[in-house]
Homo-oligomer: A and B are copies of this chain.
Amino acid sequence: MSVLVMKFGGTSVGDLARIRNAAEKVKREVERGHDVIVIVSAMSGKTNELVGWVEETSPLFDAREYDAVVSSGENVTAGLMALTLQEMDIPARSWQGWQVPVQTTSAHSAARIEDIPRTNIDQKFAEGMKVAVVAGFQGISPEGRITTLGRGGSDTTAVAFAAAFGAVRCDIYTDVDGVYTTDPRIEDKARKLDKIAFEEMLELASLGAKVLQTRSVELAMRYKVKLRVLSSFEDTDDNSGTLVCDEEEIMEQNVVSGVAYQRDEAKMTLISVADRPGIAAAIFGPLARAGVNVDMIVQNISEEGRTDMTFSCPVNQVARAKDAMDKAKESGEINFHDLVADTDVAKVSVVGIGMRSHAGVASRMFDALAAEGINIKVITTSEIKISVLIDRKYMELAVQALHDAFGLDSAA
């Protein structure tokens, strides 16, 4: 018997009518012969209400109690979904994390799934149950306390179940109908991708395309779980949405699959840093300890033992970064002339597995930007991604130009 995992997020189960709508999709998969494991989030708004109560009660809350309170939202949806399926004559039951049990670490509010024993659910499938509805986002610690996986944890729950049960696929139902070549709000020629490689999805997710949690994509890649993103609110069939899969499964591969952006970046430059071995550690150690998420790093050519060091970080971390650098200067850890922050920049990236085997991607990118008169401030590259920092006011223009230059409006 083939197991299919289906995950419905908060907006997809936001009220009883939407739960019924989701159940209809589950029913269709049961009729196709699947045993289905449904992972549900809390009804939209419920988790925020519970988190609000906890934070108002106790600003420095005990994470164990936070988890016990916040996990209750998913339990409600799981029961309601099981009841809805039963009303459609589909044998279903709900499972809370501890009942499966979803065994996690003790890192409350950010727990990691360690194991999902199949015995209990497999036994029910063998007895004729067709759908196991599992409360997402939660598990049980070795101490027997309720844990949660952190925000977006329901995607991770879904992928972990798909891996544990050898599922044919893990379908993530959400409020968008798939992964796009770029943000359709910026480029109206943006095209939905039928398939995308895990590695590309990871780069896009970390670049702000918030369709899937990075962590769930990593897990899917590690366990080779076929992941599909599709819409709860449209009619869907076997070809709907976007399949996130191994690159071998993608026959016709564009050189570039998508253009991503991050609007609120800042470019920070340390002027005239003493260039000595260990200087990078001396700069980025204090920044990391201060909680600054440093992204791009560029070091200029050294002259007379001194150099300029440039890095980027989110705009709202600029004050924290300055503070950390000033303190490191005072303590004598590092020595620099000045710290200059440019808070009006954005990052634009092209991502594609095809880059590995195609030369000339970078130059095509730079040509396209130059043709629009867009100045590049910083460049970084990885195997499957090229990112540039540019003035924020050119961001939309850059996305459109690159989308066009790489022919993303038409399939490969």
Contact = CB atoms under 8 A, between A and B. Distances in A.
Given A56-B16, A58-B87, A75 B68 contact: yes
Interface string A52-78: 011011100110111011001101101
B75 A79 contact: no
Interface string A37-59: 00000000000001001101110
A83 interface: yes
Nearest to A140: B99
A130 interface: no
Contacts of A75: 68-69, 72, 75
B62 A86 contact: yes
Interface of A: 16, 19, 50, 53-54, 56-58, 61-62, 64-66, 68-69, 72-73, 75-76, 78-80, 82-84, 86-87, 93-94, 96, 98-99, 144-146
21 contacts: A16-B53, A16-B57, A50-B76, A53-B80, A54-B83, A61-B83, A62-B82, A62-B83, A65-B80, A65-B86, A68-B94, A69-B76, A69-B79, A69-B80, A72-B72, A72-B73, A72-B75, A72-B76, A75-B75, A99-B144, A99-B145
A62 B53 CA distance: 31
Contacts of A65: 79-80, 82-83, 86, 93-94
Contacts of A82: 62, 65, 68
Q: What 8 A-B pairs come out closest when comparing CB atoms? A: A69-B79, A72-B72, A58-B83, A68-B79, A65-B79, A57-B83, A65-B83, A58-B87
A19 B69 CA distance: 14
Contacts of A80: 53-54, 57, 65, 69
B83 A78 contact: no
Contacts of A72: 72-73, 75-76
A98 B80 CA distance: 20
A64 B93 contact: yes
Nearest to A95: B68
A42 to B, nearest CB: 10
A86 B66 CA distance: 12
Contacts of A96: 68, 146
A79 B66 contact: yes
A65 B50 CA distance: 22
Contacts of A19: 57
A16 B61 CA distance: 15
Contact of A58 (B61, B73, B86): B86
Contacts of A146: 96
A329 B396 CA distance: 85
A61 B50 CA distance: 26
A63 to B, nearest CB: 11
